Structure 1
Amino acid sequence: MELRTATAADWPGIWPFLREIVDAGETYTWPRDVTEDDARRRWLVGPPGRTVVAVDPDGTVLGSAKLVPNQEGPGDHVANAGFMVAPAAAGRGVGRALGAYVLDLARAEGYRAMQFNAVVASNTRAVALWRSLGFDVVGRVPEGFRHPHLGLVDLLVMYRRLG
Structure 2
Amino acid sequence: MIRAMTQADFSAFWPSFKAVIQAQQSYAFDPDMSEQQAFQLWCELPLKSFVFEHKQQILGTYYIKPNAMGPSKHICNCGYMVSEAARGKGIARKLCEHSQDIALELGFKAMQFNSVVATNTVAIALWHKLGFATIGTIPKAYLHPKLGYVDCLIMHKQLSD
TM-score normalized with structure 2 length: 0.96
Q: What letter is aligned with 2:91? A: V
Q: Distance in 1 between matches of 2:152 and 2:33?
A: 21
Structure 2: 5+ residue stretches without partners: none
Are positions 1:98 and 2:95 aligned together? yes
Equivalent in the alignment of 1:55: 53
- Give the alignment of 1:139-150 within 5 angstroms: 139-150=136-147
Deviation of 1:3 (Å): 0.7
The answer for unaligned runs of 5 or more in structure 1 is none
What is the aligned-residue RMSD (CA, Å)?
Answer: 1.0
Return the offset for 1:9. 2.1
* Structure 1 consecutive aligned stretches of length 4 or more whose deviation exceeds 2 Å: none
Aligned partners of 2:69 and 2:16: how far apart in 1? 29
1:112 aligns with 2:109: yes
Task: Tell whether the 8 Å contact from 1:67 to 1:106 is kept in structure 2 after alignment.
Answer: yes
Inter-partner Cα distance in structure 2 for 1:40 and 1:133: 28
What's the counterpart of residue 158 of structure 2?
161
Specify the alignment match of 2:20 in structure 1.
Answer: 21
Residue 45 of structure 1 contacts residue 66 of structure 1 at CA under 8 Å; is this kept in 2? no
Identity %: 39
Q: Contact 1:120–1:156 at 8 Å: present in 2 too?
A: yes
1:133 equivalenced with 2:95 (yes/no): no
